[in-house]
Amino acid sequence: MATAFADKKEKILVAAIDFGTTYSGYAFSFKHDYQSDPAKVSTNQNWVAGSMSLVSLKAPTVVLFKADQTFHSFGYEAENNYSELALDDEHQNYFFFKRFKMRLHGKKIQRDIEIDDDCGRPMKAMVVFSEIIKYLKQHLLKLLETRGTGVDNKDIHWVLTVPAIWSDSAKQFMREAAQKAGIDGGQLSIALEPEAASMYCQLIPTNKMQGCEGAKFQVALAGTKYMVIDLG
């Protein structure tokens, strides 16, 4: 256990993947940035939509698979590609998934569970979830390389956020999906979405919205009352 904790401390980058019901994305923080300013977090703000790049922190949680169930595209690209296929009446042999994440809620999840796409055709949920995680992981690594700050995968600690209401089997399913996506189990933490938001709130100045320097929001003090609201 002590060795595992030490390994986490030695990573030079922490990358978090937010696999959302409607939108997904990622954020990352270098160790040296965190040491100087814990609230300094970087994201991708230019998700590709056809020939355009949209200024958006996230992309739609939409994924398109080919007839042989291999990955085709994700996000805005998947939406555009599927629309073009439908216009030419060539979409029948493709698998198109959207708003499927919460199908893991309230069920005892097994590795071989299947979910239906928009046309009611089943695919292994493990394939669907792991391919999206793999895409977001590779997208981040490519972004770092483009910025000239490429980092070896072994030097990254990954965080995958999940809803607090999910069962242990659903959380374990996501862990295994991340591992199938190429993230080593020793480099992975599963974090509850409201807890992650609450911890970040402790780093934000109370008057940050006014663009001024100020005291931090002391949510960690005993007796402090606050609300964490997910407006997704």
Which is nearest to 163 in space by CA: 182, 190, 131? 190
230 vs 57: which has the higher pLDDT: 57
Cβ–Cβ < 8 Å for 35, 17: no
Token look-up 């991708």 returns 44
Question: Model confidence over 64-104: pLDDT tens digits?
Answer: 999 999 999 999 999 999 999 999 898 999 999 998 988 88
Q: Give the global pTM.
A: 0.86
215 vs 87, residue with greater confidence: 87
| Between residues 229 and 25, the one the model is more confident about | 25
Q: Where are the alpha helices (DSSP H) in the chain?
A: 2-10, 31-36, 75-87, 125-146, 168-180, 193-201
Contacts of 130 (CB under 8 A, 6+ apart): 177, 178, 180, 181
Closest CA to 128 of 185, 181, 87: 181
Q: How many CA atoms lie within 13 A of 206 on its CB side?
A: 7
Between 53 and 30, residue with greater pLDDT: 30
Read off the pLDDT band of 53 (50, 70, 90).
Answer: low
pLDDT computed for residue 144 by the predictor: 92
Please state the φ and ψ torsions of residue 205, each to the nearest 5 degrees.
-60, 145
DSSP label of 186: G
**Can you list the domains of the chain with their CATH numbers?**
2-188 (3.30.420)
Residue 213: band (very low, low, confident or very high) from pLDDT cuts 50, 70, 90: low
Q: Sorting pLDDT into bands at 50, 70 and 90, what band is 3?
A: very low
